[in-house]
Structure 1
Amino acid sequence: MIQNLFNTDESNRQRGQVGIGTLIVFIAMVLVAAIAAGVLINTAGFLQTQAQDTGTESTSQVADNLKVITEVGNVSQAEDTIGQVRLGVQPAAGAGDVNLAKLTLQYVSDDNFANLVVGLDNTSFNSGTDTAQWS
């Protein structure tokens, strides 16, 4: 009579079925978490690469410039013009290679400004609408 009150076979079967269902849900949750972790790691790697590229480009824009160490020019007193300018330059601290083939200089005085563009073939002087060739 005591055996009928505590039916151990039926109780164990019900517990086993609940345990298998829980195990399946647990495995599904682990798989979803693994996929989400993979996506996060992939995104973090992409963002790190993009941040490194942006940092390198920003550094080159800021640091890759020239420092003027000497400047000499001939000024015509009669015409009040600059006839010749010689600049001594060196790369700024932390600068990489600087391409002088497309160098642009900007001249600024009290009442005038000009851009000097140095190219491979010639050098042009642009001041407002006036253009003159320099050699």
Structure 2
Amino acid sequence: MMTNNIEDDQGSIGIGAMIVFIALILVAAVASAVIIQTAETLQQNAQSVGDDTQEEIAGKVQLHGAFYAAAGDDVHLIFSLAPGSGTILTTAIKFQVYCNDDTNVFVQDAGDFDDEDILTLDGGTTLTAGTAGNSVSAGVKYYISVTLVNCALDDVQTGWAASLHDGSIILNMHVDGGGSTMEILDASGTLNEGDSVL
């Protein structure tokens, strides 16, 4: 008697399909893990950048006015903190001033806002220079008279009058751990008590 061998390959097709299916599930799992990890990293970076930006914008001094003082060494500043700022110690607010003097030599002055008395613009509060814990708050305008030794307005104006330079003074104000503000003061022309130099 003869035997007929019938080959049945249906089982091997089923096993192959199952292997492909399992491989697809594994690839999808790895891809989703990578996508989730990337999304978490992007979210953390965005949060960090957002926090840094908030510190830069909120912890910042806004200058509203700068005026000539008759002594020629002082500049009267009207300032406030940027909206959203918290309370900032006066020792944390630094200033740097750069200019060319009456002989066209590049000079600078520096200090912090705790070196001089600070008054609220309405005159209601005085923050005495050098007092520990002095602080300024957002939403209030303040007045300070800053003494400039090397960049005295009279000296810069003299250099301008002699056509040595343009009479500009660069004023930078920095908040420790916060933002910076740069303004250009103008000491050209005739200066009288109370004249704006901003």
Q: TM-score, normalised by structure 2?
A: 0.44
Change (3 A) 1:16 1:28: same
1:71-90 pair list within 5 angstroms: 71-72=66-67, 74-76=69-71, 81-82=72-73, 84-90=74-80
* Higher mean C-alpha deviation, range 31-40 or range 100-109: 100-109
Which residue number corresponds to residue 22 of structure 2?
27
Q: Where in structure 2 are there 5+ consecutive unaligned residues?
A: 102-106, 116-129, 132-147, 151-198
Question: In 2, Cα distance between the equivalents of 1:126 and 1:19?
Answer: 91
Residue 96 (structure 1) aligned with residue 91 (structure 2): no
How many positions carry a matched residue from both structures? 114
Q: Matched residue of 1:90: which SS?
A: strand
Question: In 2, Cα distance between the equivalents of 1:114 and 1:88?
Answer: 19
Q: Matched residue of 2:69: which SS?
A: strand
1:45, CA displacement in angstroms? Answer: 1.4
1:23, CA displacement in angstroms? Answer: 0.6
Deviations 1:44-103 (A, max 9, x none): 211222122113313432453222223455343xxxx51x544221123x4422623311
- Give the number of the structure whose residues are more often helix, by fraction: 1
Amino acid corresponding to residue 112 of structure 2 in structure 1: V
| Structure of higher CA gyration radius | 1
Question: In 2, Cα distance between the equivalents of 1:56 and 1:108?
Answer: 31
Change (3 A) 1:45 1:15: same
Change (3 A) 1:24 1:108: same
Structure 1 vs Structure 2 CA RMSD: 3.5
Identical positions, percent: 28
Q: Where in structure 1 are there 5+ consecutive unaligned residues?
A: 128-135
Question: In 2, Cα distance between the equivalents of 1:69 and 1:37?
Answer: 53
1:8-87 pair list within 5 angstroms: 10-11=7-8, 14-62=9-57, 64-72=59-67, 74-76=69-71, 81-82=72-73, 84-87=74-77
Q: Matched residue of 1:58: which SS?
A: helix
